[in-house]
Chains A and B, each alone.
Chain A
Amino acid sequence: MGKDDTTKKRRKLMTSSTNENVKQSPEDVYKKVVDFEEAEARQRPAEKDAALFKKICQDVRQLFADIAELKEIGTEEAREKINAKRIEASLQLVALKKVNRLEKVRTRAGRDALHKEKQRVDSTHLLLQNLLYEADHLNKEVTKCLQFKSKDEEIELVPVEDFYKNAPADVSRPDITKTDEHQLQLARLEWELRQRRELSGACSELVASKERVAAAIAAARSRLDALAPHLKDVLKATKPLQECLALRLDEKREETKLAALLPPPLFLLYANASAYSDALGTKNLVVGISGDEDEARRFDQTSNTEVELVVSNDSDSDQDGNDEDRREKKKRHHRSAKISKEEKAEAKKKEALKKHPLHVLVTVKIPDGTALNLVFSYLTHLKIIVVRYTMHHPKPITGVSAADVLDGDCVLNELYTGDTGSDSPHPATTYLLKAAGILDGFPQFIPDIGKPYIWAQRMCGLDFMTAVGDEQKDLKNIQLCPSLSVATVENFIFTLQKRLKARVELMKELQDLECGKITPTKEMSSIRLSGSLTQWQAVSWSEYSQSPSTAFLISESLVTPDDMLYRAIITRQSAKLVALVSLCSDYPKKSPLFSLTLHYNGTYDNATSDDIRDIERLVNTDWQKSNMCSLTNQITKLLTCLDVLLETMGTQEFPPDKVMLLLVRGRNRLKPYKFLKQGTGMFVQV
Chain B
Amino acid sequence: MLDKILYNTVLCQTFSPCGKYLVAGNIYGQLAVFDLDCILNPNTELLTPGYNSPKHIHKIESSSQICSLASTDRFLIVGSVNEIYGWTWKAILNSKLSKPSWTIKIKSESFIEQCDINCLWLSEDSEKLYAGCGDNKVYVFNLEDGSLMQTLAGHENYVHCIHGHDRQLISAGEDGLVLLWDIRTGKAQNEIEPHKNSKVARPDIGKWVGAAALGDDWIVCGGGPRLALWHLRSLDAVTVFDIPDHGIHIASFLDDCILAGGTAKHLYQLTYSGDIRVELPVSSTTVYSAIVRTNPNKVLAIAGSSPDIDLCTTFNYRDQVLHFR
Interface residues of A (CB under 8 A from B): 556, 558, 590-591, 593, 601, 606-610, 613, 616-617, 620-621, 623-625, 650, 661, 664-669, 684
If A621-B7, A668-B286 are given as contacts, then 16 extra A-B residue pairs at C-beta distance below 8 Å, sorted by A number, are A591-B2, A593-B2, A601-B204, A608-B263, A608-B285, A609-B263, A609-B285, A610-B285, A610-B305, A617-B7, A625-B1, A665-B116, A666-B67, A667-B67, A668-B288, A668-B305
CB distance from A37 to the nearest CB of B (A): 102
The answer to whether A613 touches B305, judged by C-beta atoms less than 8 angstroms apart, is yes
**Interface residues on chain B, number (Cβ under 8 Å):** 33
Tell me the complex Cα distance, A556–B6, Å: 9
Let me know if B222 is at the binding interface, CB within 8 A. Answer: no
**Complex Cα–Cα for A684 and B134 (A):** 14
Q: Is residue B9 within 8 Å, beta carbon to beta carbon, of the partner chain?
A: yes
Cβ of B210 under 8 Å from chain A: yes
CB distance from B53 to the nearest CB of A (A): 16
Nearest Cβ on chain A to B204's Cβ, whole angstroms? 6
Give the most central of B3, B9, B134, B206: most A CB within 10 Å: B9
Let me know if B7 and A616 touch, CB within 8 A: yes
Q: Report B89-128 CB contacts with A as 1/0, cut-off 8 Å.
A: 0000000000000000000000011001011000000000
Q: A601-B204, A666-B67 known; A617 and B210 CB under 8 Å?
A: no
| With A665-B134, A668-B11, A668-B305: A621-B113 Cβ-Cβ less than 8 Å | no
7 A-B pairs within 8 Å (CB atoms) are namely: A558-B2, A608-B263, A610-B286, A620-B2, A667-B210, A668-B286, A669-B247
Q: In the complex, which of the residues B2, B112, B158, B160 contacts A661, with contact meaning CB atoms closer than 8 Å? A: B112
B residues sitting closer than 8 Å to A (CB atoms) are: 1-4, 6-7, 9, 11, 27, 65, 67, 112-113, 116, 118-119, 134, 158, 160-161, 174, 204, 206, 208, 210, 246-247, 249, 263, 285-286, 288, 305
Which B residues lie within 8 Å of A610 (CB)? 9, 263, 285-286, 305
- Interface contact B285-A606, CB-CB below 8 Å: yes
Does A661 lie within 8 Å of B286, measured CB to CB?
no
Which residues of chain A are within 8 angstroms of B4 by Cβ–Cβ distance? 617, 621
**A621-B285 in contact (CB<8A):** no
What's the dominant secondary structure at chain B's contact region?
loop
Q: How far is the CA of A650 from the CA of B118 in the complex (A)?
A: 23
Beta-carbon contact of B249 and A667 below 8 Å? yes
Roughly how many angstroms separate A591 CA and B6 CA in the complex, as a whole number?
15
Most-contacted residue by chain B among A601, A620, A650, A667 (CB, 10 A)? A667
**Closest Cβ of chain B: how far from A283's Cβ, in Å?**
33
Residue in contact with A590 in the complex, picked from B1, B160, B204, B263, CB distance below 8 Å: B1
Query: Which 6 residue pairs across A and B have the least CB separation, nearest first?
Result: A617-B7, A621-B4, A623-B1, A620-B2, A610-B286, A621-B2
> Which residues of B have CB within 8 Å of A613?
7, 9, 285, 305
A666 touches B116 (CB 8 A): yes
Q: B3 to A621, Cβ gap below 8 A?
A: yes
Looking at B2, B9, B67, B247, which has the most chain A CB atoms within 10 Å of its CB?
B2
- Cα(A470)–Cα(B19), bound, Å: 58
Contact of B160 among A601, A609, A667 (CB under 8 A): A667
B90 to chain A, nearest CB (A): 29
Residues of B within 8 A of A666 (CB): 11, 65, 67, 116, 118, 134, 158
For A650, what are the chain B residues with a Cβ–Cβ distance below 8 Å? Answer: 206
A684 touches B112 (CB 8 A): yes
A592 to chain B, nearest CB (A): 10
Question: In the complex, A624 Cα to B1 Cα: how many Å?
Answer: 8
Complex contacts, A601 vs chain B, CB 8 Å: 204
In the complex, residue of chain B having the shortest beta-carbon distance to the beta carbon of A685: B114
B9 partner residues in chain A, CB cutoff 8 A: 610, 613, 668
Which residues of chain B have C-beta atoms less than 8 A from A617's C-beta?
Answer: 4, 7
Q: Report B229 CB to chain A, min CB distance, Å.
A: 22
Q: Which residue of A lies closest to B132 (CB)?
A: A667
Min distance, Cβ B225 to any Cβ of chain A, angstroms: 14
- For the complex formed, measure the closest distance between the CB of A618 and the CB atoms of chain B, giving whole angstroms: 9
**Residue numbers in A under 8 Å from B65 (CB-CB):** 666
Determine which of B7, B158, B161, B206 lies in contact with A665 in the assembled complex, contact meaning CB atoms within 8 Å: B158
CB distance from B161 to the nearest CB of A (A): 8
Contact call B118/A667, Cβ cutoff below 8 A: yes
Q: In the docked arrangement, what's the CA distance between A439 and B113, Å?
A: 73
Q: Chain B residues with Cβ under 8 A from A623's Cβ?
A: 1-2
Across the two chains, which residue of chain B brings its CB closest to A625?
A: B1
Q: Bound complex: CA of A624 vs CA of B161, how far in Å?
A: 37
- How many Å from the CB of B223 to the closest CB on chain A? 9
Tell me the smallest distance from the CB of A282 to a CB of chain B, in Å. 37
Q: Given the complex of chains A and B, what is the CA–CA distance between A481 and B285 in angstroms?
A: 54
Select the residue from A591, A613, A616 with max chain B CB neighbours within 10 A.
A613
Q: How far is the CB of B218 from chain A (nearest CB, A)?
A: 23
